[in-house]
Structure 1
Amino acid sequence: MHTTHPSLYFWALGDLHYRAQPAWQALHAPRMQEMFEDIQSVWQEEGRPDFCVSPGDLVQTGTPTNYALAIQEIARQMQGIPFYPGIGNHEYHPDSQEDTFHTAAEFSAAWHKPPRYAWTAGEQHEIICIMLDQPYPYGSGERKESKEVIFPAETLHFLDATLQEHESRRALIFAHCPLQDTVLDRDPARNLDDDSQDTFFFVNNSAEVRAILAKHANVTLYISGHTHSGWNSPQLLFTEDLGKHTITHLNLMSPWYTGRHAGARRDPETNELIYVPDKPDTLITFALSIYADKALIRARDHRAHQWLTNWEIPLR
């Protein structure tokens, strides 16, 4: 841990995908427990964070039972630490062909948060945290998700207006989907990872988002998930110049699974739900400390009980 006390210390968790289905829970619950046990061991050593955040896909599908499970389990593990959820594409998913599509209103009723919102943080409330909403992914009469992720005008206006209102505060942005040309594939020839050059896995109007971010020099970080990127994916952390300032993109790995070809799968012979691990099968979340002049971002592998690396990002 850095010797100087940060103005803000928080943990960011990638796509969690809780599902209240016995076969799913048999595979999922041990990974979540392993992750949280190691996180709590770090908290005992370093102190509790100011909050934890997870920008979307907290549930596999948007059913009430999945929300109830996610809320119960996360509350149990947080032990009173504030938790800020975001909405992802999976929150809209039906659980079966017979199930209805789910809505942002259901997300809000479950978590008591609007789909896009902001809160202040830091010792003197000198930081503004902005959670953006994933757009509804289904067209009229369609049961297959749209291949394009387009932030609607309302989301863009909210981002611009909130940054303007809090221009004296350093800004951290959370969104489910990364911007285009940030996190990349570990092995494009084998299509090992979903990444921000695949249409479904980046914000298709990224140019409009970047134009807003370029206007506001207080923006520091854009933190996203969605891709389930594996460890050592190129540009998992990526800094770019926008306007007269820089912004750093952090793509959160999913502790449920990483890699395009991993996760819960049906055994072709038995039709039983099995777990296909990534190689390496890591279990990683991120601890972030914000100082006056830098951000310290650390990647923790909860399976190995060790820090993998840390990045220091200069802040102007």
Structure 2
Amino acid sequence: MRIIRFEEKQSQNPVLAAVTEENKVYSLPYSSFLEVIEVAKTKDVRPVDLVNEIITQSVPLTESFDELKLLVPVEAPEVWAAGVTYQKSKEARNYEATNGKLDATTFYDKVYDAERPEIFFKSTKERTIGPSGDLFLRSDSNWQIPEPELGLVLGSEGEILGYTIGNDMSCRDIEGENPLYLPQAKLWARSCSIGPAILLAETVEDPYQFEITCKIYRNEELVVEGSASTNQLKRKFDELASFLRKDNIVFPGTVLLTGTCIVPPNEFTLDDGDQIEIEISNIGKLINPVKSQVAQVAK
């Protein structure tokens, strides 16, 4: 069962809805994903059972899922991200930090094997966009890529409420120049997107079997394609969430991105007009165009 938000055509107001495995869409009488969680807790039922009860007494929307103008499925007050959680990510970070010396070892090797994972602040709800929204390129970077990741939607205790898709945009040249530049390499306006849906956690039998694909199009031509699985992840999701909540406040609806295993070729950088498509099995496809802020100003 997936939870989405979309913009109602007539009123342009946000609507919360559930999407079944058959892709039928049912409006829900709640204002947000977190309200679903709270009502289910009050009634002492699982969120999926609450939603199923509503669906059995409702009729699906006449519009299909593909016709809806989707919004971020949850307005995450904060988005955090974990780094170097896959072998591929470790190799890419080493390449950036050593000017292409593939056999060199760095602090990225240390954090990959360390007890403590790398977790960094990525975004706020004001900086985060949803499906079809424009992602911005950073104006002072010449080497930028998307990072397709599975996102954990967390409760106030750091518990995993659901799974979504995240795009952790990254400036490889800025991070490679100096690790202290990580916040600038990761966080700027419209540098993060999440969506298109939240897959309820209790409906997932094995979260380490998600298949992830990423495609990048330029002038409608496929220029980058990669795939991975969460079974390649070095760390467990509960482990990552536990380090985020350690001596910290976790606001309900916080999203924790869990790292990437898909890295474009080292000679590739995003350009104005590119389109990024990230798909994760059973969750959906997150599509975002890319815009250069420099190009927008020039126009």
Q: Quickly name the TM-score band, shorter chain normalised.
A: under 0.3
TM-score by length of 2: 0.26
Greater relative contact order (CA < 8 Å, ≥ 6 in sequence): 2
TM-score by length of 1: 0.25
Instruction: Please state which structure has a larger fraction of its residues in strand.
Output: 2
